[in-house]
Amino acid sequence: MLYAKASAADKRVALRAGLSSGRILRYPGAFNPLSAKLIQQKGFEGVYISGAVLSADLGLPDIGLTTLTEVAGRSQQIARMTDLPAIVDADTGFGEPMNVARTIQTLEDAGLAGMHIEDQINPKRCGHLDGKQVVDTDTAIKRIRAAVDARRDPNFLVMARTDIRAVDGLDAAVTRAKALQDAGADAIFPEAMGSLAEFETIRAAVSVPILANMTEFGKGELYTVQQLEDVGMNLVIFPVSLLRLAMGSAARGLDAIESHGSLTTMLPEMQHRADLYKLLDYSSYSQFDSGIFDFTLNPHISTPSSTQV
Ligand SMILES: C[C@](O)(C(=O)O)[C@H](CC(=O)O)C(=O)O
Ligand SMILES: [Mg+2]
């Protein structure tokens, strides 16, 4: 009932343990607190909080318009609803290295298990847009050092993302990844890799855990969880996927109202009321007030997946 039971400290320990387990961790992107609960219910290892989703949710493009206050506020709302560790996209850290330090402390206070800071210039843009630019190695290192020095919980994960692959090529990505590891990064996020072999090259270059970004319709190909585990990846994110699925379904629903005047044909695609109530844990709330949970299923409408065997 209410918020998740696991503390932020416990979640950070769980993330660290997962990263050293030798198994790849699957982190779908939650587009709201409710979808974070669904990710947990379905048995995933953690929740990703995407900057692209956060901006899109506000109706904005992913070009560095969101503020630390907005990102911290939304990620706190999402992180507190799940016992799973949540990793948030902190873009370029919201300013100079001093701002990065404050960003880290703010995200720690918001209950996140970790975050990533990237080496794009300010203002950043989505990693799959053309025309990206990156800062020099010295500036990239300063961001990571500022983050590492500022954290108060040593288990809070500081991940360094590098966007340099699309700008200067794979060799530059290898050099940058090594420099970021040396600066104290706990993990590396090599953005927009061209192939599985490129992931392998980064794997051979650094010893810290590596994240693979399986975002759809981007610069990179989509690989299976198994393929990524086989090349030594430790974490895979599906950052915008749930939002894309939900929005795709919403668009089809609106079209159905337009063409049929009804959503009856769409009922199988919908989360059933009973499944929503289960996810929200209505039954626990009725321990406080037995009048709350008085929902009975109408068998004539459709069968919720929660009752299917
Ligand atoms: C991972 C990412 O930074 C995000 O904000 O989710 C994006 C995802 C996307 O735009 O598809 C990125 O890869 O830059
Ligand atoms: Mg992003």
Half-sphere exposure of 308 (CA within 13 A, CB side): 6
Question: How many Cβ atoms sit within 10 Å of the Cβ of residue 40?
Answer: 19
153-196: pLDDT as tens digits: 999 999 999 999 999 999 999 999 999 999 999 999 999 999 99
Best CA proximity match to 154, nearest among 194, 99, 113: 113
Residue 216 CA from chain centroid, whole number: 14
86-124: pLDDT as tens digits: 999 999 999 999 999 999 999 999 999 999 999 999 889
Give the ligand 1 atom nearest the CA of 52. Answer: 5
Per the residue annotation, which of 119, 191, 198, 229 is the catalytic one? 191
Q: Supply the mean pLDDT for the chain.
A: 94
Place of tokens 């800071």: 117
Is there a catalytic annotation at residue 116? Answer: yes
* Sequence spans of domains, the chain: 8-239, 241-287
> Which among 47, 50, 217 is the best mutation to test ligand 1's pocket, defined by most ligand atoms within 8 Å of the CB?
50
Query: What is the predicted ipTM?
Result: 0.99
Where does the chain show beta strands of DSSP type E? 25-28, 47-49, 86-89, 114-118, 157-162, 187-190, 211-213, 235-238
Question: How many Cβ atoms sit within 10 Å of the Cβ of residue 138?
Answer: 8
Q: Is 51 in the pocket of ligand 1 (CB under 6 A)?
A: yes
Best CA proximity match to 57, nearest among 245, 247, 216, 214: 247
User: Residue 137: CB partners within 8 Å, gap ≥ 6?
Assistant: 175, 176, 179
Q: Is 240 in the pocket of ligand 1 (CB under 6 A)?
A: yes
Per the residue annotation, which of 48, 125, 244, 272 is the catalytic one? 48
CATH superfamily of 8-239: Phosphoenolpyruvate-binding domains (3.20.20.60)
The fraction of the chain above a pLDDT of 90, given in percent, is: 87
β-pairing verdict for 157-162 and 187-190: parallel
For ligand 2, the distance from its centroid to the CA atom of residue 131, given in whole angstroms, is 15
What mean pLDDT is predicted for residues 131-148?
A: 96
234-271: pLDDT as tens digits: 999 999 999 999 999 999 999 999 999 999 999 999 99
Cα 218 to Cα 199: distance, rounded to the nearest angstrom: 16
Question: Which residue's CA is the nearest one to ligand 1's atom 12?
Answer: 127
Contacts 24+ apart (CB under 8 A), 267-275: 267/301, 267/302, 268/302, 272/302, 272/303, 272/304, 272/305, 272/306, 273/304, 274/304, 274/306, 274/307, 275/304, 275/305, 275/306
Per the residue annotation, which of 26, 126, 151, 198 is the catalytic one? 126
- Contact criterion met (CB below 8 Å) for 234 and 187: yes
Identify residue 61 by its one-letter amino acid code.
Answer: P
Q: What's the pLDDT score for residue 309?
A: 32
Question: How many Cβ atoms sit within 10 Å of the Cβ of residue 283?
Answer: 13
Q: What's the pLDDT score for residue 301?
A: 57
Both tokens assigned to 103: 């960003």
Confidence of residue 125 (pLDDT cuts 50, 70, 90): confident
Q: Is 82 in the pocket of ligand 1 (CB under 6 A)?
A: no
